[in-house]
């Protein structure tokens, strides 16, 4: 089926916009099947390409003259929020859209402001146990073209989809999940309205034969569901048992119920926290839709230990337990981590300022039992100054993780925990959240 993509591209004038991981994957895919096709690669950074059939345009003017191409295959991280020309925007496509055009019926798409990676990974593990051919792809790290030759008519593709990836698509997956909508990525999207609209594209182009799973008790999400006639078969996920409804997935006596059927009994699981039980609700609902054995699915869920850098327990040193939660890039994720770990005495937080509203987060921190706040630039510094004025808690300002760790080691009460959970993106001073997490883990283990 992937040859349909090649046939679509072979006679078109193509630009690859952005040459990061996904851009390189697109280039490799096209070159494998169209080795002499003329291509243009556009990126603000310098690119070392010696291919005689490839033109390279770099520097500050790399977004000029986009209208001359038939297809612009865009890397997700590049923002086009300042481009208003519909003639250009209509030419934007992506690996994800090209995949959906030929494999839509095989795709389970997962998006949301938080919980995407955990839910995608857990769902992949559950399906992998019972199906022969399944891949975990997308925003979690593997471009969808990387293994495309191996996909067959029975392959299931679990694809984590960011708002960046969903922004310009005009095809939606067969099974689509929106875990939640909060405030995030305003630096890329420009407005909250645009950011949420990008997310909703995962439902927008579904048919009456597709499935739409969403959190009914999320304000932003429920409001959008009620204001637009999405065509997919809807399954509402609600974290209470207030009322039964058709295709309503709810909690009853801590178990997950669908139309009076118990899908999952919540016993001892490694994946702690109420927010993770919500993620599990989506996973078992998909398992039900796919006709999987729910008992087998439950056994995988009980044993799933979660993702690295998501409330990851590093160890206990000098009677202080250290947790690494650098994947928490919004305040709601940090709040969930604090609620789950419970005995946090020191919080290290702060990162890139993406114009998110932190009012509720500040109120939560003020009311919490946390005694020590170690504040890193830029958001941590701003929030720390407010906490310094309005609380009697211990506030420390640092510029790097080394100093943050030293203070945590000195100030955290014995038999309690220190949590690194930024509530912001790590890009300002680190390559990504993984780099930040690795540095912190190394500091803690080194002592």
User: What residue segments make up the domains of the chain, in order of their start?
Assistant: 3-93, 96-303, 312-446
B/e letters for 361-372, b = 16+ CB within 10 Å, e = fewer, are bbebbeebebbb
Cα-based angle 343, 347, 348 (whole degrees, multiple of 5): 150
Q: 348 with 420: CB under 8 angstroms?
A: yes
Backbone angles phi, psi at 372, to 5 degrees: -120, 125
CA distance 297 to 295: 5
Q: Answer whether residue 242 shows pLDDT above 80.
A: no
The closest alpha carbon to 358, from 325, 338, 329, 337, belongs to: 329
List Cβ neighbours of 283 (8 Å cut-off, separation of 6 or more).
119, 122, 123, 126, 297, 301
Q: Answer whether residue 181 shows pLDDT above 80.
A: yes
The closest alpha carbon to 232, from 263, 200, 207, 213, belongs to: 207
**Taken in order 317, 318, 319, 320, is the CA torsion positive or negative?**
negative
Side by side, the strands of the sheet bearing 233-238 are 134-138, 156-160, 107-111, 175-178, 211-215, 233-238, 248-252, 255-258, 261-264
For 316, the token pair is 């206990």
As a whole number, mean pLDDT of residues 137-146 equals: 90
Q: Answer whether residue 191 shows pLDDT above 90.
A: no
Residue 71, beta-bridge partner list: 14
Q: Residue 124's pLDDT is what?
A: 98
Q: What is the mean pLDDT of the chain?
A: 94
As a whole number, mean pLDDT of residues 212-234 equals: 93
Q: Residue 245's pLDDT is what?
A: 73
pLDDT bucket at 283, cuts 50 / 70 / 90: very high
The closest alpha carbon to 92, from 201, 223, 226, belongs to: 201
CA distance 162 to 388: 35
* pTM listed for this prediction: 0.88
Q: Residue 247's pLDDT is what?
A: 86
As a whole number, mean pLDDT of residues 6-27 equals: 96
Question: CATH code for 312-446?
Answer: 3.90.190.20
CA distance 254 to 243: 15
Q: Residue 278's pLDDT is what?
A: 95
- According to the CATH classification, is domain 96-303 in 3.40.50.300? no
As a whole number, mean pLDDT of residues 298-302 equals: 98
Q: Answer whether residue 189 shows pLDDT above 60.
A: no
Q: Answer whether residue 71 shows pLDDT above 60.
A: yes
Residue 90 half-sphere exposure toward CB, CA atoms < 13 A: 4
For 98-107, the pLDDT digits (tens) are 999 999 999 9
Residue in the block written with tokens 């309205």: 193
Q: Answer whether residue 187 shows pLDDT above 80.
A: no
Q: Answer whether residue 188 shows pLDDT above 70.
A: no
List Cβ neighbours of 219 (8 Å cut-off, separation of 6 or more).
none
As a whole number, mean pLDDT of residues 413-433 equals: 93
Q: Residue 294's pLDDT is what?
A: 98
For 328-338, the pLDDT digits (tens) are 999 999 999 99
B/e letters for 406-442, b = 16+ CB within 10 Å, e = fewer, are ebbbebbeeebbbbbbbbbbbbebbeebeebbebbbe
As a whole number, mean pLDDT of residues 51-77 equals: 95
Q: Residue 67's pLDDT is what?
A: 94
Residue 373, beta-bridge partner list: 347, 395
Residue in the block written with tokens 């100030």: 411
Q: Residue 354's pLDDT is what?
A: 85
Residues present in the chain in total:
447
Crossing angle of helices 294-303 and 274-290, in 10° steps, is 150
Percent of the chain with pLDDT over 90: 85
Q: Residue 427's pLDDT is what?
A: 82
For 349-369, the pLDDT digits (tens) are 999 998 889 999 999 999 999
Q: Residue 190's pLDDT is what?
A: 62
Flag the least confident range among 208-217, 247-256, 386-395: 247-256
Percent of the chain with pLDDT over 70: 98
**Distances, alpha carbon 283 to alpha carbons 108, 135, 157, in Å:** 11, 16, 14
pLDDT bucket at 260, cuts 50 / 70 / 90: confident
CA distance 430 to 427: 5
pLDDT bucket at 140, cuts 50 / 70 / 90: confident
Residue 283 half-sphere exposure toward CB, CA atoms < 13 A: 32
Q: Which CATH class is domain 3-93?
A: alpha beta
As a whole number, mean pLDDT of residues 14-41 equals: 96
Q: Residue 139's pLDDT is what?
A: 86
Q: Residue 377's pLDDT is what?
A: 95
């Amino acid at each position: 089926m992937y040859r349909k993509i090649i046939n679509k591209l072979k006679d078109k004038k193509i630009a690859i916009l952005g040459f990061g991981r996904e851009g390189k994957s697109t280039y490799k895919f096209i070159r494998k099947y169209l080795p002499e096709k003329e291509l243009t690669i556009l990126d603000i950074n310098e690119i070392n390409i010696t291919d005689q059939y490839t033109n390279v345009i770099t520097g500050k003017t790399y977004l000029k003259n986009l209208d001359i191409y038939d297809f612009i295959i865009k890397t997700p991280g590049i923002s086009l929020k300042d481009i208003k020309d519909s003639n250009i925007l209509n030419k934007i496509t992506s690996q994800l859209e090209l995949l959906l055009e030929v494999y839509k019926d095989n795709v389970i798409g997962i998006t949301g402001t938080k919980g995407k990676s955990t839910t995608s990974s857990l769902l992949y593990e559950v399906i992998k146990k019972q199906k022969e051919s399944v891949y975990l792809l997308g925003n979690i790290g593997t471009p969808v073209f990387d293994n495309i030759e191996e996909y067959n008519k029975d392959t299931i593709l679990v694809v984590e989809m960011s708002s960046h990836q969903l922004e310009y698509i005009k095809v939606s997956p067969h099974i689509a999940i929106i875990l939640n909508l909060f405030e995030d990525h305003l630096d890329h999207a420009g407005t909250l309205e645009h950011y949420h609209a990008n997310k909703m594209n995962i439902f927008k182009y579904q048919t009456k034969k597709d499935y739409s799973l969403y959190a009914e008790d999320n304000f932003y999400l429920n409001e959008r569901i009620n204001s637009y006639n999405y065509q997919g078969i809807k399954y509402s996920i609600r974290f209470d048992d207030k009322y039964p409804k058709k295709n309503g997935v709810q909690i009853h006596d801590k178990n997950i119920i669908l139309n009076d059927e118990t899908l999952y009994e919540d016993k001892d699981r490694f994946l702690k926290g109420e927010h993770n039980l919500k993620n599990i609700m989506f996973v078992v609902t998909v398992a039900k839709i796919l006709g999987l054995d729910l008992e087998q699915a439950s056994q995988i869920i009980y044993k799933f230990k979660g993702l690295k850098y998501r409330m990851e327990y590093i160890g206990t040193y000098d009677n202080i337990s250290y947790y690494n939660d650098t994947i928490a890039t919004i305040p709601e994720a940090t709040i969930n981590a604090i609620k789950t770990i419970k005995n946090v005495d020191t919080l290290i937080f702060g990162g890139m300022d993406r114009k998110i509203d932190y009012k509720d987060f500040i109120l939560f921190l003020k009311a919490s039992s946390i005694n020590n706040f170690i504040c890193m630039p830029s958001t941590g510094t701003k929030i720390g100054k407010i906490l310094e004025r309005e609380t009697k808690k211990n506030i420390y300002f640092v510029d790097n993780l080394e100093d943050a760790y030293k203070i945590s080691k000195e100030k955290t009460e014995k038999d309690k925990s220190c949590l690194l959970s930024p509530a912001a993106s790590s890009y300002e001073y680190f390559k990504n959240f993984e780099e930040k997490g690795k540095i912190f883990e190394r500091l803690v283990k080194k002592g």
